[in-house]
Each structure stands twice: as structure tokens, then as C-alpha cells.
Amino acid sequence: MRLLIHPQLQEHLCPNQRSVALPPKPSPDAPSKRPPGRMRQLKGKPKKETSKDKKERKQAMQEARQQITTVVLPTLAVVVLLIVVFVYVATRPTVTE
């Protein structure tokens, strides 16, 4: 018959009879899995940008710049013009006879 004892108390009472086996710690002399001098590759990042990727990225940036001049700036100009007209109409003096 086995008694249920809190794990921390069980360590102190009988350290040789643990119910959960812990994984062994690697020794400091053990070789690592990656080659020396190389950093770990982060997940989700491309390993290296190819010339094709670089051309595509530059083309996308150029298209974005072109959209700024053809879409964003005229739209912004129209919005500013509407605000100016609205403020003028709202604050013009009224003529009373």
C-alpha cells in the first residue's frame, strides 16, 4: 500500500524512491548538436535571400512608392480641400439686411 505524500515532502522523506523520473542532464563535455561557430537558425525566417527574392522585394517597394504618388497623395489632397471648404462655409459671415 502506497501513501499519497506531497512531492516536496516525499523528496525529503525518501529521496531514492521518486515516482517521476527526471531526464539526465548532459555533461558539459558532451558535444552539442550544432557545428561549432554557427548560430542557431530561428524558426520562420528564411535561411538566405536569393537574387530572385531580392529582385521581387525591390519591385514590390517600387510599386509601393508608385502607389503613394498615384493614390495616397491625391486622396490626401482631396480630404484637406474638403476640410478647408467645410471650415470656410461654417465660419463665413452672414449677411443680414
**pLDDT score recorded for residue 63:** 93
Tens digit of each residue's pLDDT (9 = 90 or more) over 29-40 = 655 565 666 667
**pLDDT score recorded for residue 61:** 94
Reduced DSSP (H G I as helix, E B as strand, rest coil) percent helix, strand, coil of the chain, to 5: 50, 0, 50
What residue segments make up the domains of the chain, in order of their start? 60-92
Instruction: Say how far apart CA 71 and CA 65 lie, in whole Å.
Output: 10
Tens digit of each residue's pLDDT (9 = 90 or more) over 58-78 = 999 999 988 888 888 999 999
